[in-house]
Structure 1
Amino acid sequence: MLLTQLFLITFFAALVGVLPPGLVNMTVAKTCVEKGKRAGVYAGLGASTIVFIQATLAILMAKFIFDHPSVQKNLLRVGLVVFIILAIHFFIAAKKKRTKKKTSEKEVGRSFLKGMMIASLNVFPIPYFVAVSSAINSNDKYIYDKTTIFLFALAACLGTFTTLYIYVVSFMKIETHTQKFSKFSNYFMAALMLVLILVTLFRLFF
């Protein structure tokens, strides 16, 4: 019963955590619109694979991170640099003209790797899942053995993929507006990176 509760809470926490437009889900949406549904799904799978690893690290590091605030600061500093680089990248990408290409097997494979890369650059899920795992275990109900850790990470992975798949299905409906969405999404992503830069700076210094 406790393991089922752990799985469901983590699943819905991951699902809700990825719902607001952000780096990973907007990248998946862009991939879907520019290269097709299959590429978008593979990008989501790649991102979810990394979330599995991040959630595993988070639950293992939960106590250590809370006991060492400097670790949180270093994660935020890394995130700040990444967000600055990505803001520049998306602003430049918005200036380029793109057309939808036929999706080959090679492109699909690249989409999976792209999903993994973007999710790897997004450091926020680690402290998020640290907080989730700590909140779930606030009364020391769970013994974090291999089964519990695996179920926590699996639930985080599946919750993330569920939301990303919803993005894929939703954005397929605007397939006819590929060029317009591609340009808009790059500007949106650049603006989002600026917001994340400001949030990270605030968390670092206040």
Structure 2
Amino acid sequence: MIIETFKLFGVTFIASLIGVIPPGLVNMTVARTCLERGKKNGMLVAIGASVIVFLQALIAILLAKYIFNNPFVNNILLRTGAVVFLLMAIYFFVKAKQKDVKIKVYEHAHRRSFFKGVMMSTINVLPIPYFCAVAAGMSVNGKIEYDSTRVFVFSMAAALGTFATLYAYVVSFLKIEKKTETITKYSNYFMGVLMLLLVIITTIRIIYTWR
């Protein structure tokens, strides 16, 4: 049981860490805050965003418990998920091929840095379906049985993984600012490969449910 819990933490942490690598709304807000207001404020934005990710992961795992305890919903979701992951993989590979990468940073002046991170992360609702897919992928047999401890571990790992990547943005963005386009390109390739892996895992689960 303990080993499974550690595995749950490790997989969720890595998935969360990887998921925040491609430059987007939250991490670019962290980076811009560092440039404009210093690393301390950038760190507060990262903390605020990570708190929301904890809640988003909590919602995701609770949804996953319901969904995969319902055979009909489970089957429909698996088929839909496989298509969605494939489309996302295509999207990331297309983005990686683009030469000009434009990153939009949303600024909210006169707001405290912590609440700025909370707001940016709240606007970004994509982590909920992402973590729901992660939870599904870790249970090939379709049985997700998480007690309160594992639900907490899953949510905490998601938050810590997010914070780890955002912290990396805080401490290194001043050095890598000119290489953002290159980072975006290879991050998109990586995310594309990750989506293909999720397609494979989901397909395996579809085959398994028909046995």
1:56 correspondence with 2:55: no
Displacement of 1:92: 9.2
- The question of whether the paired residues in 1 share the 8 Å contact of 2:25 and 2:105 is answered with no
**Alignment correspondent of 1:103:** none
Structure 2 Cα separation of the partners of residues 62 and 142 of structure 1: 8
Aligned match of 1:128: 130
What is the aligned partner in structure 1 of residue 34 from structure 2? 32
Query: Which residue, out of 94, 103, 113, partners 1:111?
Result: 113
1:172 aligns with 2:178: no
Q: What one-letter code is carried by the residue in structure 2 that aligns with 1:45? A: I
CA distance in 2, matches of 1:156, 1:164: 12
In structure 1, the partner of 2:149 is: 147
Contact 1:33 1:174 (8 Å CA) reproduced: no
Superposed, 1:1-206 pairs within 5 Å as 1-64=3-66, 67=73, 110-140=112-142, 143-173=145-175
SS in 2 for 1:166: helix
Question: Any stretches of 5+ residues in structure 2 without a counterpart?
Answer: 81-103, 181-211
Structure 1 runs of 4+ aligned residues shifted over 3 Å read 63-66, 90-93, 172-175
Q: Please, what is the CA RMSD of the aligned residues? A: 3.2
Seen in structure 2, the aligned counterparts of structure 1 residues 140 and 113 have a Cα distance that, compared at 3 Å, is same
Q: Distance in 1 between matches of 2:47 and 2:141?
A: 33
Taking a change above 3 Å as real, the CA distance of residues 113 and 91 of structure 1, as seen in their structure-2 partners, is closer
| Aligned residue in 2 for 1:195 | none
**How far does residue 171 in structure 1 lie from its aligned partner after superposition?**
1.5
Q: TM-score under structure 1 normalisation?
A: 0.63
